[in-house]
Structure 1
């Protein structure tokens, strides 16, 4: 699958897998929010080049964390804690509550709502709302996904995602390391979910003896064979049948050194190269 088409393969199950389990009383709202993102995000992610496995995994996992596994597009707290925060542009009484976090990446503060309005007007010819004047409209399904694209692109987060630098991505989004453990868990799930999309889109014929393998597979004898062949070619990994980050990295390194697209997915072309003496 070419990078430009990978976001189009996103399904509701992809989002749910990345977000992980949620309380039963929030699952209905989660499903509604996921449906909105599933329709809106693929074209936007292609347009703004959030379309490689690493970029997608970092982007979607951060959205999952900020939105409580896609259960809310509005901060649970009142926003009063942001009152008087001049660094957020909250210079008028009531701005903390009025410009509380909204959207899947929790856009916060008068200054950000103002900047988002200016940015999205530059992207589109059609009339768009003034989100500083009507901040609640950011929750509208026509605009809510755009708010995440605005924040991600204007902070050039693709660059940190390309380095697989979750610390930098988190710091830019949150200002520190808040929720880092959960962000790491969601990133691991996102990498596995995106790898499944890449594997599913492999156009070469499926081989019973040399199947398509990807991150997230566990206790799998074919993964054991893959790990054994990678070790034969110099990789320093163990053989445990679990396709985790170490196996994925070793596979990507092997693919790069053999002029194969470094997808981290074991496809027939990769198997053929691995089987060479």
Structure 2
């Protein structure tokens, strides 16, 4: 099917940066090359990009965080940087200092993970482009894959002629079309973000795009349109074994009933009640099943 991507972008991101608009205007062949050609795939790709860029308004992460926001995102128990309230008060409003503290050499664990090896790398290789490519290592990998020097010139990531390339490469490297086909926004988010940060906003973005791209022959609800997922079947069977009430239909689709059952289990298990069957929830389910058996 033919999907008019620039028309969709104009409708869901009325304040989009010109560089992004031009990238999507030129990007039909590149999107097709990476298989972003079905309603579910388009909706999931755009949902992630919309969230990561604030509705396609952010080219680079500006790092100009206030002290409360710093502790909320990068504070003790929330991030490997473990920024204290005293530190936050000292570096708040100083983007270069913040970036070096949370992404650069001021956070050895994260700097190793991101490949930030030199002073200033935290800021130079901060979140960049449609999926907020972060770190010297990621810029190098995406650049090598795309045949461009993103490491030497990170500003190329947001140039109109290149802006889609690193995000689509990341999408393909993580095999995210397969998860989009199963309407698995949880796994897509975890692959891109490393966790489930902003999942509710990503879901809202997805729903806005889905309302535009779904065809007349498809279900109104995206979870009904996705392929069955064996992992979700296991989850549904496990929740039934643990007493889900009402019992779930084991169809491999993560719909409202499955989400409610996950929330019910999380409440009983003393977990965060968010309806997301992430690694902690799945581990707790397995432990309960082993206990029963």
Calculate the TM-score normalised by the size of structure 1: 0.62
Counterpart secondary structure, 2:27: helix
Cα displacement string for residues 109-162 of structure 1 (whole angstroms, at most 9, x for unaligned residues): 0111110111012xxxxxx4x211121222211111111111111111111111
Q: Hey, what's the Cα distance between the residues in 1 that align with 2:36 and 2:24?
A: 14
Aligned partners of 1:192 and 1:214 also within 8 Å = no
- In structure 1, the partner of 2:272 is none
Q: Hey, what's the Cα distance between the residues in 2 that align with 1:185 and 1:145?
A: 22
10, 15, 26: which one aligns with 2:9: 15
Counterpart secondary structure, 2:58: coil
125, 148, 171: which one aligns with 1:152: 171
Confirm whether residue 48 of structure 1 aligns to residue 34 of structure 2.
yes
- In structure 1, the partner of 2:224 is 249
Flag the 1:110–1:31 CA change in 2: closer, same or farther, 3 A.
Answer: closer
Flag the 1:31–1:117 CA change in 2: closer, same or farther, 3 A.
Answer: closer
208, 217, 223: which one aligns with 1:189: 208
Shift of 1:34: 4.4
Aligned partners of 2:60 and 2:132 also within 8 Å = yes
169, 172, 180: which one aligns with 1:161: 180
Q: Hey, what's the Cα distance between the residues in 2 that align with 1:165 and 1:56?
A: 13
Aligned partners of 2:5 and 2:24 also within 8 Å = yes
- In structure 2, the partner of 1:90 is 116
Q: Unaligned 5+ residue runs, structure 2?
A: 64-94, 106-110, 229-293
Aligned partners of 1:90 and 1:110 also within 8 Å = yes
Flag the 1:33–1:131 CA change in 2: closer, same or farther, 3 A.
Answer: closer
Q: Hey, what's the Cα distance between the residues in 2 that align with 1:67 and 1:40?
A: 19
Aligned partners of 1:99 and 1:109 also within 8 Å = yes
State the number of aligned residues. Answer: 187
- In structure 1, the partner of 2:145 is 119
- In structure 2, the partner of 1:71 is 57
- In structure 2, the partner of 1:61 is 47
Q: Hey, what's the Cα distance between the residues in 1 that align with 2:193 and 2:159?
A: 23
Runs of 4+ in 1 over 4 A off after TM superposition: none
The correspondence of residues 168-247 of structure 1 with structure 2, limited to 5 A, is 168-195=187-214, 198=215, 244-245=220-221
Aligned partners of 1:131 and 1:138 also within 8 Å = yes
Shift of 1:57: 0.8
Shift of 1:107: 0.6
